[in-house]
Amino acid sequence: MLNTRLLSLIRKEFIQISRDPRTLVLVIVIPVMQLFLLGYAATHDVRNVPLAVFNQDRGPEARALLDAYRAADYFRLAFDAGSEAELRRLIGEGRARVGLIIPPDYGTQLQRGAAQVAFILDGSDPTVASTALAAAQLIGQAHGTQILAERLAARGVALSLTPPVEVRTQVWYNPDLEAAHFMVPGVIGMILYALTSLLTATAIVRERERGTIEQLIVTPIRPWELIVGKMLPYVSLALFNTVEVLAIGAWWFGVPVRGDLWLILGISVIFLMTSLGIGLFASTVAHTQQEAMLTVWMTLLPSIFLSGFFFPLEAMPQVLQWLSYAMPLRYYLSIIRSLLLKGVGFAEIQGDVLALTVFGLVIMTAAVVRFRKRLD
Amino acid sequence: MPPLIEALTLHKSFSHTRAVAGVSLRVDGGEAYGLVGPDGAGKTTLLRLLVGALDADSGTAQINGYDVARQTELARQHIGYLAQRFSLYGDLTVLENLRFFGEVRGLGEARVKARAEELLRFVGLAGFESRRADALSGGMKQKLGLACALIHEPKVLLLDEPTTGVDPVTRQDFWQLLIRVLAQGTAVVVSTPYMDEAARCNRIGFMHSGRLLVEGTPRELAAMLNGRVLELIAQPKDRARRVAQADPAVEDVLTFGDRFHLRVAEPAGPLARLPAALAEAGVTVTRLRAIPPSLEDVFISLLAQPDGK
């Protein structure tokens, strides 16, 4: 397979890549930056939600309630509002996401029996709101139970809080349910997909724009040699990126690498064939570099959203679930999450690997067929 | 022996324009064929059809006996091609470019090395091996282009305006190189906007609106206007021009620096009438005589009557 023409094409590409330090730096630095950015940003963990309190009581009972909220790291007591209007304003401006209103007679009501507090949530972000809602209720209930227990104890009754049925939960693969362990492998897949497909999007159309294609097509280079010769140098570059983001994911974000590293890299190469192939295909279709980049860019968003990267595929309408099978990234995300977190072997993922291989071969063939050694 | 280049009634249209309309061409080894014609005449398209970079709508082209459309790669093995636009890799060095184009044409490492050394000396780029092609001057770029086109010792060399934008000294060098290439039996087709270059070719084809209007040796073409060009040097110039144009036998007046070339239907009438007419208008005539026509006179006359007859 490796003939002289192919080898000299590959060498030429390597020389050109190495003479383009700006691109090279971007290719090496951007994945790291993106991983850090997205690794932290792409998380469903809700912590330190800013809380505005309008405390009209200020007695020891009210203070105890606030302490309970403070103790959990879901909320941060950010503002002490002087009036309901101020609290309303703080939430309206988005400086506080939740508000707690303690009525003036909270302490006396509580001593008499039961008291009420108002908890206000900014529902514009449902993810934050639903987590905050659950947390607020949980903290309130726990605090209530504690007050009840103290009261009974004061009357000399020991309260046993053991429920008759106990559900003992066990979480596998990601016992602390850390979002990073789910998100970082996704970010790795997404970065590789976006970076590599954009990288090759310009590869052939650049020759067209610079006019070098005219000299290239009168040489006996075969279309498949040109496509493969353009791709292989970028595979090695992209493989470096894979190792780079995997290493950062493991060391910095503590994502476990339970599967076989060689298996991960091997499957990544298959996946890269697909993403680089998409770029090359766009490059054979487009007339300018911008057109090629834009074409790739337009395919990127649907593949990211329909790959299960942000939104669980199970929650999508049936039609979109079917459509997601057309997204190579879907298979890679599923594979890399299984390999990293579950440490499965090849047997468990072979279906997905087969799908990826088919994608890679189809898109590469399409690029070869599409590339004609003609100027018009 | 069959001709190295043989094209039969090539046609090529782009959406609305007929770029090449029925061109036939034969070029033998050792022959330099000059393609001249105004911009947009179809010279570049014709060369691209010959090299197989474009597919002809109809007609055939053969290079060394191989059909360009059906045996494209076989035909290309015998073609060296220099495009009008610089089409080597600017971010590769002189030697890297030569090496790349040598290797993709199947030359072994030792052969590429020897050939590159020979060609760099031949085109005068020895010593510039490690300079990036982008950093070369216009003339050096064209010499490198020629070296790359010659690396596989092609039998046919197609050059699209190789000396456009190149200084006169380098143009001279370039033609000396071509003469040596021709001496090895290579068939050369070169398109050029320069008449002095066209005059160096064995044969010239004049293209206009996609058609080859006339073809012949420089001598044959110039003979088309034999006896029909007068040279006039006179002052003041604008008045002299007006008087000359008024003569019924004068078809066209061209300015060449300090002199005019008058294209005439027949020379005797104007030679008899003009001295008196010019004197009457107060024009001082330094010279009025019949001269052998230049290629430029011929081509401008052809453009004036684009059916060519």
**Contact (CB<8Å) B103/A5:** yes
What is the DSSP-derived secondary structure letter of residue B93?
B
Q: How far apart are CA A35 and CA A194, in angstroms?
A: 13
Q: Which residues of chain B have a Cβ shorter than 8 Å from any chain A Cβ?
A: 14, 48, 51-55, 72-73, 76-77, 79, 81, 83, 85-92, 96, 99-101, 103-106, 108, 148
**Which residues of B fall within a CB distance of 8 Å from A210?**
87, 90
Q: How far is A290 from chain B (nearest CA, A)?
A: 21
**Contact (CB<8Å) A12/B52:** no
Q: How far apart are CA A322 and CA B91, in angstroms?
A: 46
**Contact (CB<8Å) A218/B88:** no
Predicted local distance difference test score (pLDDT) of residue A131: 83
- B192 — alpha (psi -120 to 50), left (phi > 0) or beta? beta
**Contact (CB<8Å) B53/A5:** no
Query: Measured in whole angstroms, how far is the alpha carbon of residue A362 from the centre of its chain?
Result: 27
Predicted local distance difference test score (pLDDT) of residue B306: 52
Q: How far is B188 from chain A (nearest CA, A)?
A: 16
- Geometric angle at alpha carbon A138, from A133 and A139, rounded to 5°: 100
For chain A, first and last CA: distance in Å? 29
Q: How far apart are CA B250 and CA B247, in angstroms?
A: 6
Q: How far apart are CA B159 and CA B82, in angstroms?
A: 5
Predicted local distance difference test score (pLDDT) of residue A172: 79
Q: Which helix (H) or strand (E) holds A8?
A: helix A4-18
Set out the domains of chain B in order of their start, with CATH numbers.
5-216 (3.40.50.300), 227-291 (3.30.70.100)
Phi, psi torsion values for A334, nearest 5 degrees = -60, -40
In which residue are the tokens 């050369």 written? B188
Structure tokens at A137: 């209720």
With CA atoms as reference, the chain B residue closest to A11 would be B100
**Which residues of B fall within a CB distance of 8 Å from A376?**
14, 54-55
pTM over 0.90: no
Contact of A247 with A332, CB cutoff 8 Å: no
Q: What is the ipTM of this complex?
A: 0.83
Query: Which of A20-24, B166-170, B218-222 has the highest average model confidence (pLDDT)?
Result: B218-222
**Contact (CB<8Å) A375/B77:** no
With CA atoms as reference, the chain A residue closest to B82 would be A215
Q: How far apart are CA B6 and CA B27, in angstroms?
A: 7
| Residue-wise pLDDT tens digits, A209-246 | 998 999 998 888 888 999 999 989 988 888 888 899 89
Total beta-carbon pairs less than 8 A apart between chain A and chain B? 78
Predicted local distance difference test score (pLDDT) of residue A180: 74
What's the Cα-to-Cα distance from B149 to each of A9, A236, B79, B154, rounded to whole Å?
Answer: 17, 32, 8, 8
Q: Which residues of chain A have a Cβ shorter than 8 Å from any chain B Cβ?
A: 4-5, 7-9, 11-12, 15-16, 19-20, 210-215, 217-221, 373-376
Structure tokens at B271: 């030679």
**Contact (CB<8Å) A8/B104:** yes
| Residue-wise pLDDT tens digits, B97-146 | 999 999 999 888 899 999 999 999 999 999 999 999 999 998 899 999 99
Contact of B162 with B201, CB cutoff 8 Å: no
Lay out the sheet containing B229-235: strands in order across.
B250-256, B259-264, B229-235, B284-290
Contact of A51 with A117, CB cutoff 8 Å: no
Structure tokens at A153: 């104890």
Predicted local distance difference test score (pLDDT) of residue A1: 45
**Contact (CB<8Å) B91/A19:** yes
Q: How far apart are CA B66 and CA B274, in angstroms?
A: 58
Contact of B190 with B33, CB cutoff 8 Å: yes
Query: Measured in whole angstroms, how far is the alpha carbon of residue A162 from the centre of its chain?
Result: 40
**Contact (CB<8Å) A375/B86:** no
**Which residues of A fall within a CB distance of 8 Å from B92?**
12, 15-16, 19
B192: burial class by Cβ within 10 Å (0-12, 13-18, 19+)? buried
Return per-residue pLDDT of chain A as tens, 376 residues: 458 889 999 999 999 999 988 888 888 898 888 888 887 876 666 778 899 999 998 888 889 889 888 887 788 888 998 899 999 999 988 889 999 999 999 988 888 888 889 999 988 888 788 888 888 888 888 888 888 888 888 887 776 666 667 777 777 777 766 777 888 888 888 888 988 898 888 888 999 899 899 999 888 888 899 999 998 998 888 888 889 989 998 898 888 888 888 999 999 999 999 999 999 999 998 989 999 999 999 988 888 888 888 778 888 889 988 999 999 999 999 999 889 888 888 888 899 999 999 999 999 999 999 888 888 7
Contact of A98 with A136, CB cutoff 8 Å: yes
**Contact (CB<8Å) B101/A5:** no
Query: Is the predicted pLDDT of residue B276 greater than 70, yes or no?
Result: yes
pLDDT > 70: percent of chain B: 98
In DSSP terms, which residues pair with B229 in a beta bridge? B263
Set out the domains of chain A in order of their start, with CATH numbers.
10-42+178-370 (no CATH), 49-154 (3.40.190)
Structure tokens at B194: 């320069």
Contact of A190 with A197, CB cutoff 8 Å: no
